A and B are shown apart, each in its own frame.
Chain A
Amino acid sequence: MNGMATILKKELARIFKDKKMVFSVFLLPVLVMVGIMVLIGNLVDNMTDDIESHTPVVYVQNQPDTFRTFLEAGDYSYDIYSITSDAERNEAEDKILDGTADLLIEFPDHFDDLITGYQIGDTVPQIKTYYNPSEDYSYEAYGVISGQTLEVYRQMLLSSRVGDLDQIAVFTVNSDNEDMVIQDDDKASGKTLGMMLPYFITILLFAGAMGIGTDMVAGEKERGTMASLLMTPIKRSSIALGKVFALMTLSGLSSIISVVAMVLCMPLMASSMGADGSSLSLSLNLSQILMMGALLLAIAFLYSTIIALISVFAKTTKEASSYVMPVYMLVLVIGLMTMYQSGSPADNMYFIPIYNTALALKGIFSQDVTMLQFAASLGVTVAVSAVLIGVIVKAFESEKVMSA
């Protein structure tokens, strides 16, 4: 036990005595994560502002007088060009294709006459719009003009035909109902966070342990320092456990720092993306915190054993990293699976290692997990870790593995 504690302390000292390591293990991931999210948010924001401030260039074929008057009367800032020939039409299409024009509106011949002379049974006139969805300005112009401007124009013409529009509205839906949402705000906020946090927790835990773990085991073999440990009178199991617990402590600490930073920065990141940051605040009760803590410890233990096990079979850190990478990809995929899962998963899903922890964490945030599901996730994770520890100890005792 003393030997295990001595090794654990040395492995922790390796990180904490080195300022560069402290920065790269604990602070850099947080800075990178928050920085990237804020940067992406700002870039998206800038892009949106740019598109919104752009004046759409619109070509109109067979432009009716009512439309011209409608645009002049309204507060629409479009650059409108009338098309009067086939050549101009082709030119307009070319401009939309190369991005210098945004939209083409084609009215039928004598549109105003068709509207005013409409009789029941006549064909309803059709306005056609053409755009280029590959171009952001064109896509936006299509959305605004086809979806909104032409709808207002349609209502204006309809109003002139029937007088009071309310006569044909029949009913409205939620036109002045401000209280239509009935939900528990904590649960809703937990659901949003519960969608993202288990994913980030699982990947951050693994990522945090990956670099340190491969160096702690395969790195020691590569540097020839493992043999000096193996020459001490302590049990091989103490060496293995000392390293795994050190790795677990470091990756757990790294992920807690990352998660806390993420929760704290969530409103900032959300608002930089244009969302309502206040809706992402997190409030957990004591039992949620305890359940989450237990699961985080268990998954940190499992990841540490997986990484240590892979590393013990590698000759070098480089080799260990290449072996660990596919497992990391698997963890990423499993995290994504829980992120986009809807409905309540079946109880037997909580017996699948790694996946069960992400599910249970999600359930804790959204207050949907049952005690059985939580216990199954915790039990399976700890049991698998214990089995892996046994395999690691065997590997440490193997001459073939350790002198490879």
Chain B
Amino acid sequence: MIEIHNLTKIYKLNKKQMQESKTKNPMKTAVDDLSLTADYGEIYGLLGPNGAGKTTTLRCLATLIKPTKGEIYVGGHEVQKNSEAVRQSIGFLTSDINLDPQFSVDYMFDFFGRLHKVSEEQLTNRKEVLFEYFGIEDFAHKPIKELSTGMKQKAAIAVSLVHNPDIVVFDEPTNGLDIVTARDVTDYLKKLRDEGKLVIISTHIMSEAEKLCDRIGLVIDGKKIAEGTLRELLAATGTDNLEDAFFEFYKSRKGEV
């Protein structure tokens, strides 16, 4: 289970970042008092425009960055106090995390498997299952730098799942992928959900969230402005698709501000 309580993340900008953001305020609130819970056997989607705070939330959850305020529990472990146990229990994927381009997928899979303390026997089994599902066998021994974007994404997903984690945290998992590869990825996420795992993703693609997520949290300017199943969100706004529902929430949020 994932529990996020009143998460706030404030970054201190340097002069260059302040110039780029055209602001005189050196403090930037990326996530503002955000809370959510997600349980095993569901796919939870964080939906919002670019810069809404989705990635920052997931990075806090994955222990890559520290919350300014608030508490996060992953599988019962508090992320700051027990970060190693958190990292052992999740599979994390984000667009700015890459695999070493000089090595093959096969080498990287074994390497990360060993770092996750996966036994050699389990490693062989996991490799067989994941490489077959994503069709990696064909390019498993090529250096990653020679692979296409889709192949790299498949490889990154396989490597992030090497230790068969109970909680899967994917940031924009289909970003930049062709339609076939994107379908492979979303189908696999559904499979993981059906196996009883907790999947939490971030996305800005409405159709993906509609089809994939059991529950959706809408995030704008670092705040969660709505949460529920697709049906609940549509009912609350009187709309018939997620995009319209999102804009209703967006307008009311901007009206408040």
Contact = CB atoms under 8 A, between A and B. Distances in A.
Contact of B115 (A17, A233, A399): A233
Interface string B50-79: 000000000000111110000000000000
Given A228-B98, A233-B84, A6 B111 contact: yes
A235 B88 CA distance: 11
Contacts, number: 67
A380 B42 CA distance: 57
A230 interface: yes
Given A14-B102, A18-B102, A224-B96, A231 B62 contact: yes
Interface residues of A, number: 24
B169 to A, nearest CB: 10
B152 to A, nearest CB: 11
Nearest to B66: A399
A61 B87 CA distance: 94
B116 A14 contact: no
B44 interface: no
Given A3-B115, A6-B115, A227-B64, A234 B100 contact: no
A224 B98 contact: yes
B112 A232 contact: yes
A225 B96 CA distance: 9
Given A2-B114, A3-B115, A10-B111, A228 B87 contact: no
B67 to A, nearest CB: 10
A231 B62 CA distance: 7
Given A223-B100, A223-B101, A228 B112 contact: yes
A231 B92 contact: yes
A235 B83 CA distance: 9
Given A6-B114, A403-B64, A233 B99 contact: no
21 contacts: A2-B114, A2-B117, A3-B115, A6-B115, A10-B103, A10-B111, A13-B103, A223-B100, A224-B96, A225-B101, A227-B96, A228-B97, A229-B115, A230-B64, A231-B92, A231-B97, A232-B116, A233-B84, A233-B85, A233-B87, A233-B88
What 6 A-B pairs have minimum CB-CB distances, sorted nearest first?
A: A233-B88, A224-B98, A232-B115, A233-B87, A227-B97, A233-B84
